Amino acid sequence: MSAAETLEQRRNARMTRSLILLTLFGLLALFFALNFRVVVVSGPSMEPTYKNGDRLLMTTAYWLFGEIQKGDVVVIVRPNGDLLIKRVVALAGERVPEKYWTPLVYMMGGRVPEGHIFVVGDNMERSEDSRQLGAIPLSYVQGKIVGGRGELP
């Protein structure tokens, strides 16, 4: 084998590695673009955890981070298209904690129906949430917050 052939083989191997890396980067970027989105907090309902204007990273592939659990912050799309960012406090089949009971919760029997979650804002005095809207169908959950500031208060 000549030196020219060896040099050509090395050049081809470098090009192949570069092409593989570029393809992997492209697939990763596509996955991120399809499954993650930045959402902006609008209003005071999640204060002090999140403030108006905070930018949060939401994933629609929240199964990657585990199923929805109590304490998770989720993004809900209402039938009119508005987005709500709220904290999950009860899951399907669970009893709603008494501190969140309203006449509507009483009418629900105090339990979250199957296929639903019960959500509240961290700033309960300034939040429209399950206390007024009722349990939220899981089909309304657009994603789960996986990045941003704030922890369970």
Could you confirm whether 86 is annotated as catalytic? yes
2, 45, 99, 130: which one is catalytic?
45
Tokens of 92: 């399907």
37 and 148 in contact (C-beta within 8 Å)?
no
Is 45 one of the catalytic residues?
A: yes
Contacts of 140 (CB under 8 A, 6+ apart): 76, 77, 78
Q: Which of 2, 70, 86, 139 is catalytic?
A: 86
Q: How far apart are CA 78 and CA 75, in angstroms?
A: 10
Q: 74 — phi, psi (to 5°)? A: -120, 160
Quickly tell me which residue has 């208060």 as its tokens: 153
CB atoms within 10 A of CB 37: 15
- Containing H/E element for 75? strand 73-77
Instruction: Calculate the alpha carbon distances from 24 to 46, 75, 77 in Å.
Output: 37, 30, 32
User: What are the residue numbers of the active site?
Assistant: 45, 86
